[in-house]
Amino acid sequence: MSNSTLQSSASLPPSSLDTSSLSTAWRKGATPAPQLNVVEWAERYRRLSKESSHGGRFIVSRVEVARGPMLAATEPGVKTITLMACTQLLKTTVIENIIGRFAHIEPCPILVVMPKDDAAETFSKDRLAPMIRDTRVLRELFGDAKSRDAGATLTHKQFPGGHITLVGSNSPTNLAMRPIRLLLSDEIDKYPLSAGGEGSPIDLAEERQAEFVTNSLSVRACSPTVQGRSAIEASYDESDQRKAFVACPHCSEMQALEWERVKIDKDAGGKLRPETARYECIACDRPWTEAQRLTALRHIEWRQTRSFECCGAQQVPERCDAQGRALCRHCGGQAVSNEHAGFVASKLYAPKQTIVETVRKFARALRRGPEALKTFHNTQLARTWKEGAEAPDWQDVYNRRDDYLSGTVSRSALVLFAGVDVQKDRLEVGIWAFGRNRQRWLVEHRVLPGDTNRSEVWAELEAMFDETWLHETGIELSVRDWGIDSGAFTAEVYAFVRLQAGRGNVHAVDGQDSYTAAFLGVGAKDTNGNGKKIRRGLKTVRIGASFCKQELLGCLSLPRPIQGAEFAAGFVHLPKDVGEEQVRQLTAEELVTSVSRGRTRREWVPITGRRNEVLDCANYARGLAQMRGWDRWREGQWRELEASLGLERVVRSSDDEAVSGRDVIAASGQQKRGRRGVIRSRFMR
Which DSSP string do the residues of 269-300 spell out, in sequence order? TS-B-GGG-EEE-TTT-PEEPHHHHHHHTTS-
Average pLDDT over residues 173-199: 83
**Residue 267 to residue 655: CA distance in whole angstroms:** 9
At 643-652, the pLDDT tens digits run: 888 886 544 4
Confidence band, pLDDT 50/70/90 cuts, at residue 531: low
Residue 150 predicted with pLDDT over 50: no
Residue 659 predicted with pLDDT over 50: no
Q: How far is CA 442 from the centre of its chain?
A: 28
pLDDT of residue 651: 46
pTM score, two decimals? 0.61
pLDDT of residue 280: 94
Residues 355 and 289: beta-carbon distance below 8 Å: no
| Integer angstrom CA distances of residue 175 from 163, 222, 646 | 15, 19, 66
pLDDT of residue 682: 43
Residue 245 predicted with pLDDT over 80: yes
Count Cβ neighbours within 10 Å for each residue of 645-673 and write b for 16 or more, e otherwise: bbbebeeeeeeeeeeeeeebbebeeebee
**Residue 345 to residue 382: CA distance in whole angstroms:** 6
**Residue 431 to residue 480: CA distance in whole angstroms:** 10
At 28-48, the pLDDT tens digits run: 555 566 789 999 999 999 998
> How many CA atoms does the CB half-sphere of 510 hold within 13 Å?
13
* Closest among 303, 300, 295, 268 to 279, alpha carbons compared: 295
pLDDT of residue 145: 45
Residues 72 and 198: beta-carbon distance below 8 Å: no
Query: Which residues are within 8 A (CB) of 667 and not within 5 positions of it... i.e. 6 or more apart?
Result: 473, 646, 647, 648
Q: Which of 21-35, 225-239, 610-624 has the highest mean pLDDT?
A: 610-624
